[in-house]
Structure 1
Amino acid sequence: MVSEFDTTVPGTKASDGFAVAVIGIACRLPGAPDPATFWRNLSQGTESLTEPPTGRWDVDEFYDADRNAPGKTNARRGGYLDGIDRFDPAFFGISPREAAAMDPQQRLVLELSWEALEDSRIVPATLRGSRTGVFVGAIWDDYATLLYRHGPQSIGRHTVTGLHRSIIANRVSYTLGFHGPSLAIDTAQSSSLVSVHLAYESLRRGESALALAGGVNLNIVPESTVGAAKFGGLSPDGRCHTFDARANGYARGEGAGLVVLKPLSQAIADGDRIHCVIRGSAMNNDGTTDGLTVPGRATQEAVIRQALQRSGVTAEEVQYVELHGTGTPLGDPIEAAALSAAIGSAHPDGHPLVVGSAKTNIGHLEGAAGIAGLLKAILSIKHRELPPSLNFETPNPAIPLDELNLRVQTGLSEWPRPDRPLIAGVSSFGMGGTNAHVVLEEAPAVVAVEVVADAGVGSGSVGVVPWVVSGRSEAAVRAQAARLVERVSADVGVGVGDVGWSLAVSRARFGHRAVIVGAGREELLAGAGALSRGEGAGHVVSGVERPAGGMAFLFAGQGSQRVGMGRGLYASFPVFAEAFDAVGEAFEGLLGLPLADVVGEGVVDETAFTQPGLFALEVALFRLWESWGVVPDFVAGHSVGELAAAHV
């Protein structure tokens, strides 16, 4: 039997014929509110580490250069997010009182779940009742610490659900109506990559049809930072010097990231945009080592080898590995040795394995560290470039890079072998010994399907294009319009027709709505700008959805015909043409003329030709609207229109 993967790019077939497509991504990371900004920061070598933002805690009060000083931390800097207190509960149907009791980690994962599905071009409501799984890594309970400072009187009816870590995943499933597995995972610092591994396995078993996977980490109170300092993990200078001789610990980071995963065969069949492919993954545990938190070299090597074996990938094919790379004097040499044994040693002389770590840019996101590294690898594959790993000058004496056949990526460059499939590994290790490794490959080549579009929709030249925006309030609609202006203005290459299609088809529709209509880029941007400012414009229509009523299609009867009716639609939209031709085939031999000739000539006004012509036109029009997702609640017709209504 021929595998469904045999038609894709050579090398995209996993050892057991199963692979997973990454069809959506979303993140909120230090200095990066979205994946596009994260990539820009990575490619430009930006370090996004600062002192705690105003409102967290007074760093002067808790800092002491002596990490052993009671109640103090020896690090001032880390990777932080702005505005973690900001949340729109009404958007998710949550009361303000319950929202205040919710751990901000829950709120952030809810927001990113929505954004990741939008990036997948999936309207969340269409997944209600589906076997969509949610797998989220999370390890800290800082918000609980903050609340309990105020004593038992601060505990209310929403406290348990607001603080329980399992609800980080469960609330997504509840809010969006998912019926697949839903769980929070805590394997310490490897939690979020383990979540991706578990999601992959759930898809493999058919337990999930779609999965959201990732992790979240927020450093809200000083206690957890003081704990990390006492553990001995923090870098006094607030930087990660991965594989460098200066390695002295890590900077704490916070943030979250999610990926949307679907079996590759299904993603290809559905025509999804594929960011990259997960070929395989593996996890294990170090077992007994020289100490509870001492990494195991042999088991790190083993988990990488197992992931490669499951992926059907050879070590020599792997061009880049995103390291766990914390920048600790103990962990870095162990990881380097394990990686060399599993992959580096298989590379020929002169072609060392390239490595790097996002922790040098954004700090160690602990429970979300693995997903941050995975997103970096995904973006590196998507952009076909490798960004620099920062803070590397002189190799750690315990890491002889030449002997290990490893090379730290120190600048922005193309991949070592861009002529070959781009394949990367991502590692993440927990302090309790739970290790995970994921193997990624570039998306398979897709045969382009030529779509004949209306002039102006595809080319942006002439014709009219609608941009549809909606929100739960008038202010939300204006904010959406402002973001639309910002996004389109920043990318002169984006087609206005593509934007219109995405807004109409792949976005949820809320009660407050507006439509901007324009014949070109400038007119559409001007209308969106006016809408964002609350100003009136002739080509902008806004209003509020009526709470009741349905939509009806009325099919006209004889007398509405005209010569050449439907000619432009037939030439522009294949769906219309196919439906029209299907009716034409049914009338073949009955009219004395092909149906296409009937509507194009004066005979269309003769009753014997009028009625078949109108019937064909109306059926084709219905199929065209139907292809756009516009389906009526009622149909009615007059004269021959009754027949068309009954037929459709």
Structure 2
Amino acid sequence: MSAPAYTNDSVALVGMACRLPGHITTPHRFWEVLVSGRTMITPADPQHPRAAILPAGILDNDAFTGFDHTHFTLTADEAATLDPQQRWGLELTDEALQHAGIAPATLRGTGTGVWWGSSYLDHAITTLGEGGDAMTMVDTAAALPSMAPGRISRSFDLRGPSELVDTACSASLVALHNAHQALRLGEVDLAIVGGANALVLDTHTRMFRNSGVLSPTGRARPFDQNADGFVRGEGAVVVVLQRLSDAHRAGCPVRARILASARNNDGNSPGGVGAPSHRAQADLLRQVYAHAGIEAGAVDYLQTHGTATPSGDNAERAALERVVGRARSTASQGPAWLGSTKSVVGHLEGAAGLASVLAAVLALEHETIPPTAGHALPMPQLRDDVALQVPTTPVPWPTTDRGNRAVGVSAVGFTGTNAHIILQEPTPVRAEADPSQHGAGVHLVPVSAAGPVEARETAGAWSQALSEATVPLVEVAATAQHRRDHHLHRAVVVATCNDEATSGMDALTAGVPHPALIGPRTAPQRRPRVVFVFPGHGHHHPHMGHDLAVREPVYAKALARVHAALEPYLDQPPWKPDSNQALEGLHTLQPAGVAHQIALSALLTHWGITPDAVVGHSAGEVAAAHTAGILSLDEAAHLVAERSRLLQRAAARGAMAAVGLGAEQAQAALASNPTLRLAAVNGPRSCVVAGTHTDLHHLCERLQADGITARLMADAPPAHHPELLGEAANYLSERVRHLAPHTGTIPLYSTATGERVDGPELDPDYWAHQLLTTVQLHPTIEHLAHGEPSVFVVLGARPLLAAELTDTLATTPTYDPSAPPVISCDSNVDNEQTAWLSALAEAHTRGIPITWPAPTHFPATNLPPRTWARPAPTPPAPTALRDRLAHAATSCERRAAITTALTALITPVVAARYGHTVDLAPDADLTELGLDSLTIVALRHKITRLHPGLADLPLTHLLIPGRATTLEQLITAITTHLTSRVTT
């Protein structure tokens, strides 16, 4: 964070989000309503469920229900009592950050500040006024207005200032001023500013009506001769502020610059409390335009407070006329246009200022001054005023030579506190990134959400955005990769153009497969173990590595290093993807295959897919040993060169055949011909047999006649056949006698021994033995599969062994048999780079953190925000638990009932913290399950209410944040206490 020193660097508004009446959930939708001149006020209706507060601008019912509490690690109980403005603040902060091109998770632990404007008390009055024995600190935290900014800071782990501002109707604009000053002083580097208002009680509505300030006709008419009062409204707005230079460096969209802001107070206003002072407002305007360094007449548009009360509008008009109007008249300019959001969405009171800011920024972006809804005939004082006018239709922004367009925003508080801010359109900045340098090729566009429904809805919104997008797909991909959080339900669209990406999004929306779509699937909470599997003979193809060598510099450099290491040990130059040399003959194939695998491992590691274990099949074990850090590159090159040369000589003696049999069935099939040997056990129904050409030919004919798959393998030597390769194996150990294997840095599971090896065991004699013994791939993978959850990545130019691994994992109970976690190069994709980028996308959907390939420095694009989950409210714990506890007659029955009750109470709390259900073991330390202090307080309270005999249960010595307490200890303490009370 910058040192506290006032800077001349201006502040940018980079992100916006809103919940406003009339189904307005995005700034785009708000602009559509503004420019249409319509009002979103719901008229009086005695049959309406909220008739007591109508007419008013009200939100849809779903704004008050169906909160995505698990995303914010809140329990269902906390969410049920949460103040609506806290809910809206959490969701809109997330959305505004997305709009700003900032992934919310990247702010955790930063000094980002939060300022919140509100004068809303309905929820606090309702909740805290009821009081009662059921009240806990959880309820208080959910109801206090001061907790709104604190809830945001806590949920997003923001460590900067977190302040509530309540100056009544000017609160959110004052909050914006405070955030603006903090950025200019260097106190924070990023500021989140919000405001909200909810109409829960009719108390304030009746008070305003009795005071004569509400419109009896239910229409707000700002600056109109028929203005008769305002109409209340509810909703919320959040904006994100950043210093301009920081926004440019980060590639965040600068939607407006804040030239200056200020606030003052009416003081001892002649009109009394609540009566606006046009003199104080005029003083504020002179002050703020002086700070901005521009003439007051430079603003073409003013988003006024504009309540449509005769006294309020006249005072504001008088102040504007004295400062802005006179300046424009003196300069002989056209009129400054007056607007107000109050007639569109109602008076949002504490959030009104930010609603005006939102309208002002949108007007700048669209270079259009929207009409002021409800205005028909100017108030008498404006009829002959040529400097101040009210638009009744959209007005194209006047073209002048005064520089960038500017707009002023005002707010007036019942407290007498006034605020004004000047916004200016940003000066275009030349992009440092050139999309044309990265536009060609394939791009990954990840989509994620809390669940499948939300992912489909998000994809639908993105599809529409993509179809309308004028930016290159690489910029869309960069935004989706680097500027959005990645949630557990994931999919990735792999595409080369916007049309292909749109088709993939449409498929995700419809829930149907598509060639461009990877997933969707739900990733695990914890990163799975990653196992690299290096196949042996047969994974090559003629164009192996060509696309990767051209388009992936990391692969090309790694491949060049392997070729340099191979060259001294080969009889001819090593095969290269761009050479005319034929890819044939074992002396060429196997070194080329190992080189490709080592280079591919380097590329995947560069992409963030790092192995936790490696497995090699036959020749692939050479690449595995190098990747594990056991063999140096020179040792691996020498070993594969000698091994392939010996196998080339032995190829005349025999070959190998792949058969669709398991190990036992294959051994039985070989019983009639003792010269055949089981070379490899690849899967539960897949083996490889080695032997002479004649014997293998007869075996294949016999098995095929029985309906069993059997085929001779092309260019395959009789590897892993002791009799046919015995001499060669001895010769190999002599030729590589200099090998000095190290202890590996990555565990290697040997398919020759079926066990994990440390490294030094892979000496020359091991490689001789490895050449002769049966490859035990299936048992090795089966052993790994029964350990921790794993993803198996097959490194080969073709998906050799992928089917065998899939079959092995499909029989393991811990894996989904319909989609075992096997990642490989897709042989159906012509372009090898596309195939491996698809594999990278697959890794992401399976919960492996990856390094996204799109450049990070591209500017953010306007992708719609992710769709929220809207779970139904969780019903209260069933009374059956209390009934069972009440009727428990013995200590044993009570213990069982208490165990059930505690599990029912604690499980959802833990699930909210972890995002999934956690099995509660008796020795589980409750303090390590994410229970914070407020949650523990609430849990204590709920436990004491399970039974009358627990009312005086002293739990403070057991349930204390930071002190280890097991579930077993808690059950025992409660059972003992209840038994003593029942006995007494």
Could you state the TM-score of these two structures normalised by the residue count of structure 2? Answer: 0.54
- 1:536 is displaced (CA, Å) by 4.8
Structure 1 position 362, deviation (Å): 1.3
Q: Verify: 1:414 aligned to 2:396, yes or no.
A: yes
| Distance in 2 between residues matched to 1:622 and 1:471, nearest whole Å | 26
Q: 2:111 aligns with which of 131, 134, 140?
A: 131
Map residues 14-25 of structure 1 onto 2, 5 A cutoff.
Answer: 17-25=8-16
Q: 1:554-578: per-residue Cα shift (whole Å, max 9, x none)?
A: 7999x99999998867887xxx669
Shift of 1:633: 7.9
Shift of 1:425: 0.8
Q: In the alignment, what sits opposite 2:434?
A: 450
Judged with a 3 Å threshold, the aligned counterparts in structure 2 of structure 1 residues 545 and 297 are, in CA distance, closer, same or farther, namely: same
Give the structure 1 partner of residue 656 of structure 2. Answer: none
Residue among 10, 19, 25 paired with 1:28: 19
**Distance in 2 separating the partners of 1:221 and 1:473:** 34
Once residues 256 and 485 of structure 1 are traced to their aligned partners in structure 2, the CA distance between those partners, rounded to angstroms, is 27
Write the deviation string for residues 395-440 of structure 1: whole angstroms up to 9, x where unpaired: 212345526x212122212211266311111011101210111111
- Name the CA distance, whole Å, in 2 between partners of 1:309 and 1:617: 63
- Aligned partner of 1:234 in structure 2 is 214
Number of residues of Structure 1 aligned to a counterpart in Structure 2: 594
What amino acid does structure 1 have at the position aligned with 2:365?
A: K
Say if 1:109 and 1:168, in contact at 8 Å, map to a contact too. yes
Question: Which residue, out of 397, 413, 417, partners 2:380?
Answer: 397
Matched, 1:346 2:346: no
Corresponding letter in the other structure for 1:450: D
The 5 A counterparts of 1:156-171 are: 156-171=136-151
Query: Does residue 309 in structure 1 map to residue 286 in structure 2?
Result: no
Q: What amino acid is aligned across from residue 545 of structure 1 in structure 2?
A: A
Q: Determine if the alignment matches structure 1 residue 249 to structure 2 residue 249.
A: no
Normalising by structure 1, what TM-score? 0.80
Q: Which residue of 2 aligns with 1:361?
A: 344
- Secondary structure of the residue aligned to 1:174 is helix
Deviation at 1:391, TM superposition (A): 2.1
- Greater shift, 507-516 or 184-193, is seen at 507-516
**Cα distance in 1 between the residues matched to 2:184 and 2:321:** 30
* Mapped contact 2:409–2:421 kept (Cα < 8 A): yes
Q: Counterpart in 2 of 1:476?
A: 454
Instruction: Give the direction of change, closer, same or farther, for the CA distance of 1:327–1:547 in structure 2 (3 Å limit).
Output: closer
Q: What does 1:118-197 align with in structure 2 at a 5 Å threshold?
A: 118-147=98-127, 152=132, 155-197=135-177
The correspondence of residues 184-223 of structure 1 with structure 2, limited to 5 A, is: 184-223=164-203
CA gap 1:569/1:25 in 2 versus in 1, 3 angstroms: farther
| TM-aligned CA deviation for residue 450 of structure 1 | 1.6
Change (3 A) 1:435 1:534: same
- For 2:613 and 2:319, the matched residues in 1 are separated by 67
What one-letter code is carried by the residue in structure 2 that aligns with 1:544?
T
Question: C-alpha distance in 2, partners of 1:365/1:104?
Answer: 14
Q: Percent of counterpart pairs with the same letter?
A: 33
CA distance in 2, matches of 1:88, 1:284: 39
Tell which deviates more after alignment, 443-452 or 188-197.
443-452
For residue 80 of structure 1, the aligned residue among 43, 58, 67 is: 58
Within 2, Cα distance between the matches of 1:473 and 1:422? 43
CA–CA distance in 1 between the matches of 2:559 and 2:365?
44
- The aligned amino acid for 2:370 is P
Question: Does 2:81 correspond to 1:101?
Answer: yes
One-letter amino acid of the counterpart of residue 278, structure 2: R
1:497 CA displacement: 4.5
Q: Where does residue 330 of structure 1 map in the other structure?
A: 311
Equivalents in 2 of 1:477, 1:192: separation in Å?
33
25 and 212 in structure 1: CA distance in 2 versus 1, 3 angstrom threshold: same
Query: Helix, strand or coil: the match of 2:380?
Result: coil
**Unaligned 5+ residue runs, structure 2?**
1-5, 561-566, 568-575, 615-622, 634-743, 746-850, 852-984
SS of 2:373's equivalent in the other structure is: coil
Q: For the residues of structure 2 that align with 1:116 and 1:145, how far apart are their CA atoms?
A: 29
Correspondence for 2:487 among 510, 516, 529:
510
Partners of 2:293 and 2:327 lie apart in 1 by 15
1:312 Cα deviation from its structure 2 partner? 2.2
The partner residue of 1:384 within 367, 371, 379 is: 367
Residue 325 of structure 1 aligns to a residue in which SS? coil
Amino acid at match of 2:411: S
Contact kept? 1:147, 1:154, Cα under 8 Å = no
Question: Residue type of the partner of 1:336?
Answer: R
Offset, 1:475? 3.7
Q: 1 CA distance for matches of 2:396 and 2:192?
A: 30
CA contact (8 A) 1:105 1:218 kept: yes
User: Partners of 1:621 and 1:418 in 2: how far apart?
Assistant: 55
Shift of 1:25: 0.7
Which whole-Å CA distance do the structure 2 matches of 1:549 and 1:243 have between them?
60
Cα gap change, 1:174 to 1:335, in 2 (>3 Å):
same
Residue 499 of structure 1: how far off its partner (Å): 3.7
CA 1:565 to 1:288, structure 2 compared with 1: closer, same or farther past 3 Å? farther
Given that 1:556 and 1:640 are in contact with CA atoms closer than 8 Å, whether structure 2 keeps it comes out as no
Deviation (angstroms), 1:16: 6.2
Alignment match, 2:40: 48
Superposition CA RMSD, Å: 4.0
Distance 2:396 2:549 in 1: 45
C-alpha separation between the residues in 2 aligned to 1:17 and 1:342? Answer: 25
Task: Give the greater-gyration-radius structure (CA).
Answer: 2
Q: 1:270 to 1:484 in 2, by over 3 A?
A: closer
Q: Secondary structure at the match of 2:153?
A: helix
Residue aligned with 2:358, SS: helix
Larger RCO (alpha carbons 8 Å, 6+ apart): 1
Structure 1 residues 354, 476: CA separation in 2 closer, same or farther (over 3 Å shift)?
closer
* Cα distance change, pair 222–52 in 1 and its aligned pair in 2 (3 A): farther
User: Are the equivalent residues in 1 in contact too, given 2:435–2:472 (CA < 8 A)?
Assistant: no
- CA offsets, 1:214-270, max 9 Å, x none? 210111121121122123221111222111111111111111111111111111122
Question: 82-91 or 431-440: which moved more?
Answer: 82-91
Report the Cα offset of residue 500 of structure 1: 3.4
Say which of 513, 522, 528 aligns to 1:544.
522
Structure 2 distance, partners of 1:17, 1:434, is 26
CA gap of 1:163–1:512, structure 2 versus 1, over 3 A, is same
**8 A contact 1:281–1:437 mirrored in 2:** yes
Query: What is the one-letter code of the residue matched to 1:354?
Result: W
Question: Which residue does 1:7 correspond to in 2?
Answer: none
Q: Paired residue for 1:262?
A: 242
Who is 1:112 aligned against? Answer: 92
CA, structure 1 residues 520+206, in 2 after alignment: closer, same or farther (shift >3 Å)? Answer: closer
- Give the 3 Å change call, closer, same or farther, for CA 81–487 of structure 1 in structure 2: farther
Cα deviation digits, residues 257-289 of structure 1 (max 9, x gap)? 111111111111222211111111001111011
| TM-superposed deviation, 1:332 | 1.1
Amino acid at match of 2:332: D
Partner in structure 2 of residue 441 of structure 1: 424
Distance 1:492 1:176, change over 3 A: closer
Q: Deviations over 1:331-373 (max 9, x none)?
A: 1111112112222211122522222112121111111100000
1:429-464 CA distances to partner (integer Å, 9 max, x unpaired)? 10121011111111121113322355xxx47xxx65
Residue 117 of structure 1: how far off its partner (Å): 0.8
Q: Structure 1 299/529 Cα, relative in aligned 2: closer, same or farther at 3 Å?
A: same
Does the Cα contact within 8 Å between 1:280 and 1:439 map onto a contact in 2?
yes
